[in-house]
Every structure is written in C-alpha cells, then in structure tokens.
C-alpha cells in the first residue's frame, strides 16, 4: 500500500490517499472543500488536487473515510463521491453529534439525526473492505464522541485524536467532547505495535518547523508532549481541560460543523435560489439585542 498526502495550510489539514499499487483500489481520508468566510464562498482547489492524483494514477476510489465531523474545515467528500463514484463513511456515533448540533443550528425536524446522510456508518472493531484494502475501524472518542481512527496494513490514520509528538493530542472542549475519553482512546492506539506508522489529521508546525504528517506509535508513546504511554490519566485530563480553556474557537467552526454533520452536503437553496448557512450569533457569550453581554 502507498500513501499520498495533501496539505491545506489555511486549516492545517492533512488529506490522505491510501491505495494498492497492484489493484489500484483507493480510499481518501478527510478531504477538504475550501471555504472563505468573508465572502462565504467555497472553492475546490484542494479537492481538485486529490482528483488529479486519482486520475493520474488510474485509481478506483472505493470510499471517502471521515475520521469525524470536522470543526475547522468543510468536507470535500461529496465532490469526490460525485466525481469518482465513492461511498462516504464515518463512525456510527455521528448520530450523537448530529443530535447535538441539530438544536444548536436550529436545523428543524426535517434534518435527520440518524446518520442516513452518509453511505456507511462504521462500528468500532469492524473491518471495511474497500476493494483489496482492508480498513480496520478503531473508535477513538474524546475530541468528539464520533471520532474513529483507521488502520490499513501498518498505517494508522488518527484524525484529531493523536498528532505529531511535538504537538500532542486533539482538544476536547467541543460539545460532548471528553478528555477522559481521549486518554482512553490514545491508550488503545498505544497498544498497537510500536512500528505502526501514524498519519495525523493536522500539523500545526510548532516552532515553525517544516511540515510533518507521519510518526510512529513508538515515538508517540515515548515522546508525545501531552500524552506519553506512562502519563497518569489525572495529569492528562487536568492538562487538557486547562489548555482547552485558553483556546479560541476554530475560525471555521460554525460553517464547518453545520455542513459536515450533513455529510458535506451544502444547505438546500432557499426560495430565492441562494444557499444560506444558519449561523448563531454570540452562541458562546450571549448578549441582548444590541450586543450587551448577558449576566453569567
């Protein structure tokens, strides 16, 4: 199996194409639909790069695999589905995320919180057959309840659960996130062989170092700056909660989650033919109608 990475520096997101050179079967993990919040405009440069690679290598795209409903970029899964005939899959607990955000975005009764927007919901421990590629699903909740990691041969795709060892792990302060759960999830990953290759969902390039997208389980267990194999759970949970309290919300949080819980499908056009995102104002720090903060 070979792996090709694609990096979106605007959102620090890594997309991967994993493929079998002999059979040309492929999966794409965590594709990006570009979005500029100022003009509220999508574009397709990131997905186009992935499509060009698929076409150049004559690959058959079997699945687009989402590690979770992302809060920092819109998913490009539907474009890849349309262009290449792939199916879109995500962890089965996406229904919990959908139920949470249906209320936050007032999506209404017509929005189904049953995961049916996706082609396949994946259970912990199952093996998804993508042509000749066998994809093992490992539930890794904590960043969100629906997070999963994917193990293909000796390559582990961790999404926002586990990053390069000099950066750490994902944040856990989104609705229904849990530092306790993420600690347990990472310990599950650390039970894999030390030589297992780890491909991360983001690289924030601490200290302005060059891009890194690959590490190993062994290197993470020994040197992850937030969570080593011997880090006590209480220490990690206290650290994670303290750090998360200082973090700003992701720049594309509200548009990303609203689209991604709908499997990357943009909102339907209104009567005037225009598509609208339904973005709450002052969600995290409520105000009155003129902007005065409401008492806590």
The enclosing domain of 54 has a CATH number of 3.60.15.10
Q: Which of 258, 261, 260, 259 is nearest to 95 (CA)?
A: 261
State how far the Cα of 140 lies from the Cα of 37, in Å rounded to an integer: 30
Owning domain of residue 62: 2-260
pLDDT at residue 254 in the model: 94
Give ∠ CA 269-275-278 in degrees, rounded to 5.
Answer: 115
Q: Which of 163, 162, 161, 167 is nearest to 207 (CA)?
A: 167
pLDDT at residue 80 in the model: 98
pLDDT at residue 153 in the model: 98
Instruction: Dump pLDDT digits (tens) for 223-237.
Output: 999 999 999 999 999
β-sheet with 127-130: strand ranges across = 127-130, 133-139, 148-152, 155-157, 197-199, 214-216
- pTM summary value: 0.96
* Mean pLDDT (10-residue bins), the chain, 296 residues: 97 98 98 97 98 98 98 98 98 97 90 97 98 98 98 98 98 96 98 98 97 98 98 98 96 96 96 94 91 88
pLDDT at residue 189 in the model: 98
Decide if 288 is inside a domain. Answer: no
C-alpha gyration radius of the chain: 19
pLDDT at residue 34 in the model: 98
pLDDT at residue 296 in the model: 74
Q: Which of 114, 134, 112 is nearest to 125 (CA)?
A: 134
Decide if 128 is inside a domain. Answer: yes
Decide if 268 is inside a domain. Answer: no
State how far the Cα of 233 lies from the Cα of 250, in Å rounded to an integer: 26
Decide if 62 is inside a domain. Answer: yes
pLDDT at residue 279 in the model: 87
Decide if 197 is inside a domain. Answer: yes
Decide if 270 is inside a domain. Answer: no
Question: How far does CA 83 lie from the centroid of its chain?
Answer: 21
pLDDT at residue 168 in the model: 98
Decide if 248 is inside a domain. Answer: yes
Q: Which two tokens stand for residue 193?
A: 């062989």
Structural domains in the chain (count) = 1
pLDDT at residue 194 in the model: 98
Decide if 245 is inside a domain. Answer: yes
């Amino acid at each position: 199996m070979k792996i090709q990475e694609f990096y979106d520096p605007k959102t620090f997101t890594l997309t991967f194409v994993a493929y079998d050179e002999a059979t040309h079967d492929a999966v794409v993990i965590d594709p990006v639909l570009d979005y500029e919040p100022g003009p509220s405009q999508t574009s397709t440069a990131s997905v186009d790069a992935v499509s060009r690679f698929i076409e150049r290598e004559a690959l058959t795209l079997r699945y687009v695999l989402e590690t979770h409903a992302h809060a920092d970029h819109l998913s490009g899964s539907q474009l890849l589905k349309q262009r290449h005939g792939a199916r879109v899959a995500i962890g089965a607990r996406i229904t919990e995320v959908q139920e949470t955000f249906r209320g936050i975005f007032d999506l209404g009764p017509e929005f189904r919180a049953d995961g049916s927007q996706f082609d396949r919901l994946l259970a912990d421990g199952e093996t998804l057959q993508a042509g000749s590629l066998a994809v093992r699903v490992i539930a890794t909740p904590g960043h969100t309840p629906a997070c999963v990691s994917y193990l293909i041969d000796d390559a582990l795709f961790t999404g926002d659960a586990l990053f390069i060892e000099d950066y750490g792990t994902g944040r856990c302060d989104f609705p229904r996130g849990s530092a306790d759960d993420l600690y347990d999830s990472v310990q599950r990953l650390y039970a894999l062989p030390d030589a297992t290759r780890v491909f991360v969902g983001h690289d924030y390039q601490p200290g302005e170092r060059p891009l890194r997208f690959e590490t190993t389980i062994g290197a993470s267990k020994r040197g992850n700056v937030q969570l080593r194999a011997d880090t006590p759970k209480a220490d990690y949970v206290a650290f994670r909660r303290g750090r998360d309290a200082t973090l700003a919300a992701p720049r594309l949080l509200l548009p990303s989650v609203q689209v991604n819980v709908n499997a990357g499908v943009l909102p339907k056009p209104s009567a005037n033919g225009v598509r609208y995102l339904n973005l709450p104002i002052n969600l995290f720090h409520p105000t009155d109608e003129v902007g005065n903060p409401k008492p806590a």
